[in-house]
Amino acid sequence: MKSNAALIAALGTLCLQTAHAGPADYVYTPNVEQGEREIDFKYGTQDSDPRKSLGSVGVGYGVNNWWFTEAYVKYGKETGSTRYDAFEWENKFQLTETGKYPVDVGLITEIEIPRDHDEGVELRVGPLFQTEFGKLQLNANVLFEKHFNAEESGPTETGYQWQAKYRWLPAFEYGLQGFGGTGPWNDLDASGNQSHIAGPAVFGRFHVGDRQFIKYNAAWLFGVSNAAADNTFRMQVEYEF
């Protein structure tokens, strides 16, 4: 993989300082396909107090064989009606050639500009890892999140994502997903204040035309720590062309 991708990874990890997973968060994967275009819809809801629901619509493009970029418009509902929540620009960099090493490695970077300017600009960066054992695919990601120019300054937070998927049939795969936040990177929260959710997930891909696919994944996640919502439902649908 190109050397400038490695430079991006080094700069990305230096930029930062996790936050709890949002209900519409999804598990990033490290691989990039050149020329791929997609329209992406995500939605999630959790029974926090009050109930929090988030969604987004995005458009993405595989610029080359190591860089995929995507822009999102996010909306949310916590009390009252649904309204615009934020604009997000996501960039994924594939750092190793697919299948060349035992573990595929990538890097994710996200910049989010919320509607509420008091929240500041959010930067999220982290390494992505994927490996396979036959039909079993495993993913694990570590994420760092920091808000800049916020009304109240805060530390760089750390979080994680993981996924285990069994590729049974192209249209139906099944497995488990988990998300969590552990607090400031240099002074983790007490276990009772950390947020951890996990649960069953389903995945699939349908061929709908020449180089056109519809992909989906969804999960029902249960709180496994006191600080997490008891139930979170999340889903993602992508049209690739």
CB neighbours of residue 17 within 10 Å: 17
pLDDT the model gives residue 127? 98
Give the chain's length.
241
Name 217's bridge partners.
Answer: 203, 236
Per DSSP, the residues of 220-233 read EEEE-STTS-SEEE
And the tokens for 240? 């690739």
pLDDT the model gives residue 1? 58
And the tokens for 76? 């949310």
Q: Alpha-carbon Rg of the chain, whole angstroms?
A: 17
Q: Where are the domains of the chain?
A: 3-240
- Look at residues 178, 157, 168 and name the one whose alpha carbon lies nearest to residue 205: 168
Range in 116-120, 138-142, 212-216, 220-224 with the lowest mean pLDDT: 116-120
Give mean pLDDT, residues 23-28. Answer: 95
- What is the rounded distance in angstroms from the CA atom of residue 134 to the CA atom of residue 214? 24
CATH class of the domain comprising 3-240? mainly beta
Range in 11-20, 40-49, 73-82, 192-201 with the lowest mean pLDDT: 11-20
Percent of the chain with pLDDT over 70: 92
- What is the rounded distance in angstroms from the CA atom of residue 110 to the CA atom of residue 159? 14
pLDDT greater than 80 at residue 167: yes
Give mean pLDDT, residues 172-176. Answer: 98
36: phi then psi, degrees, rounded to nearest 5? -70, 135
Neighbour-count burial of 49, counting CB atoms closer than 10 A to its CB (0-12 exposed, 13-18 middle, 19+ buried): exposed
Query: Do residues 145 and 124 lie in contact, with contact meaning Cβ atoms separated by under 8 Å?
Result: yes
Q: Which helix (H) or strand (E) holds 188?
A: none
- What is the rounded distance in angstroms from the CA atom of residue 106 to the CA atom of residue 130? 9
- What is the rounded distance in angstroms from the CA atom of residue 96 to the CA atom of residue 4? 12
Amino acid (1-letter code) at residue 188: L
Amino acid (1-letter code) at residue 2: K
Give mean pLDDT, residues 160-176. Answer: 98
pLDDT tens track for 52-100: 999 999 999 999 999 999 999 999 987 778 999 999 999 999 999 999 9
pLDDT greater than 70 at residue 18: no
Query: Do residues 160 and 19 lie in contact, with contact meaning Cβ atoms separated by under 8 Å?
Result: no
- Look at residues 75, 39, 36 and name the one whose alpha carbon lies nearest to residue 55: 75
Give mean pLDDT, residues 32-48. Answer: 96
